Amino acid sequence: MFKSLKRLAYLLDHIFSTNQSKVLSWSRPIESAKRIDNPCGSPLLSYIHFSEDGRMEESEVETLRLIKSLGYSICLTVNRQRGLTLCSEDLVRDYGDFADVFIVRKNIGLDLAAHRDAKRVLASAGITSKVHIYMNNSVYWFPSKIHSYFIDLERQSSDICAATISEQYSTHIQTYLFASFTEQAEEAIAFWLEKVKNWRLKKCVVNLGELKTSRFFEGGLRISTLPTVSQKFLRSRNGDSVNPSVAFAVELYQSGFPGVKRSALAGQSPEAIATKSYFLAEGLL
């Protein structure tokens, strides 16, 4: 009975969700946002944040300031918790020293719908870039590792580069960090994001959103990973496909990834305890 109810909830969530923007406000007039438009110059970072109070951790702010110092224009989108009083003016006050565009939206569709809405706002402002990086705060970022990682990321010769690729259910990129470097890639990403709905269930976001990036592999796009060795971490030691960002969090960091998935640190499983102990010993948490 319980499984049947879960399937019904999943089906209803998909049927009654739309892909209409749920942006609450953006503080700066779209006209003034055009000042960062530089298609052949300034790279662009779209960053999605969600937390109970809508505020970023110190390490997160430091990470974005470092990215800003590398010459990036930053679009900061905060997914607002239900009942939380937060507006884009608050973001300007607290994060205006490094972010260029501010968006506050309802936390539906999670990070993928937030990227969709941010992309619409940027497109309406004519803001484009040859290099577009997409990130979210499901990762605990390590500021000390950001600079070298981004330098290596910009050297990629592929259309799309992701931190990790997963083979769970289907071959797809994991969307906590990925980047596009060509017009063809940006068009493919825009087409994919336009299909994202305002789902309320994480299962819908994963199955009907993230897993659909499998089409990138079918469309002839050149896909790479950074760290390049992350492709080795597709399967567990017994041969089963796994979530590489969680199962091999330590190995990814040792290979150059500048953070650790928060879900890899959560809970009291032996794996989570071992992962957390490692990063504590490294002085990174």
pLDDT at residue 242 in the model? 81
Instruction: Name the residue type at position 35.
Output: R
The pLDDT assigned to 195 comes to: 94
Q: Residue 65 CB: number of other CB atoms within 10 A? A: 16
- Domain ranges, ordered by start, for the chain: 18-240
How far apart, in whole angstroms, are the C-alpha atoms of residue 121 and residue 279? 37
Q: What is the pTM (predicted TM-score) of this model?
A: 0.90
Which CATH class for the 18-240 domain? alpha beta
pLDDT of residue 144: 94
For 148-204, what is each residue's pLDDT tens digit?
A: 999 999 999 999 999 999 988 888 999 999 999 999 999 999 999 999 998 888 888
Within the chain, residue ranges assigned H as helices are 2-16, 30-33, 58-69, 88-95, 110-124, 143-154, 183-194, 202-208, 214-218, 244-247, 249-254, 262-265, 270-281
Cα angle 242, 166, 212 (rounded to 5 degrees) comes to 130
d(C-alpha 80, C-alpha 104), whole Å? 7
Q: What is the pLDDT of residue 128?
A: 82
pLDDT of residue 83: 62
Task: Give the angle 65-123-33 at the CA atoms, nearest 5°.
Answer: 50
Regions of the chain short of the pLDDT cut 70: 1-16, 24-41, 82-85, 87-88, 230-231, 234-239
